[in-house]
Amino acid sequence: MEKINTLTAEQEIFLKDFYQKNLNVGRSIVPIDHEKAENVITNLYKHIGLNKPNFHYFRSAFELIKKHPEVKLDNYFGGQQWVYWKAFYTFCETIGVKYEKENSELLSLWMTEAENLHWWFPYENDCIIIERPIKLSVNEGGFLHCENDKAIEYSDGWGMYYLNGVKVNEYLVMTPSEYLDINVFLTETNADVKAEFVRKYGVERMAHLGKMVDSYDKYPKKTHSWWHKSQYELWDLSVLFPGLVYQPYVKMLNQTTGIWHMEAVSPACQDLQTAIKERFGGREMKIINIA
């Protein structure tokens, strides 16, 4: 078989439609058609020589765990959420890649599985099916995101909060920016969650709780070009820490996302030079690229 290196114009157009169709499958919140779901699973069971199982439905994985804590959840299929690999191989077949007849039929079965199921947990005589979420919200980049509610929610009320693809807690999403407690930022340990806090709280508002100690613009652009691009600044936020006379934070701009980060350095850092050196584990190094 000859390798396909380019797509025709028609195939390019088809690919866009095919991609969108399967993205919609992955994000579908249309309730599961139980008859279709049971048919496809029964066929998959038959494929490995097992009989049709007994089906049990739950509104969410959380409901399943709550009602049956004894059930082991490490053996499951993702249905629509794993459509990516099924779509990949199906697209290849569509543009002319030949599979063995048995494999082609099995792939078709898995595509049907993706189109008709969310998560499901197979056992020898039983099969647990989780209903689809009732809500799924994404940002322009396609990442789970909702600024005033859960980004993904199931019909029993269980769900998760996300901001720009970062899993966060309910507090960060549901609390209006003006009421956010800075102590939540101070005690958060995850860099991405902290960045989302800064984005919502407002970096200028946050920095100006304290006072600026050092800034990138005091250093030559020629020798510190990435300090300038990242707009490194050192801010004393000791006002947030009763009992501390000096607590510096480095303020910096993420070069990919354009969002701000504020990360603490030790009180030994009196300027950006020592702060950056400390962040590098005590190494004196020149930055030549950042992403």
Asked whether 244 and 267 are in contact (CB, 8 A), the reply is yes
Within its chain, how far is the Cα of 32 from the centroid?
24
Q: How far is the CB of 247 from other proteins (least distance, A)?
A: 5
Burial profile 197-217: b = 16 or more Cβ within 10 angstroms, e = fewer: bbbbbebeebbeebeebbbbe
Among residues 176 and 258, whose Cβ is nearest to other proteins? 258
The footprint of other proteins (CB under 8 A) covers 141, 143, 164-167, 186-187, 189-193, 226, 241, 244, 247, 254-257, 263-266, 278-281, 283-291
Phi, psi of 39 (to 5 degrees): -65, -45
What's at 216, amino acid-wise? Y
Phi, psi of 52 (to 5 degrees): -55, 130
Sign of CA dihedral 208, 209, 210, 214: negative
CB of 96 to other proteins, least distance (A): 25
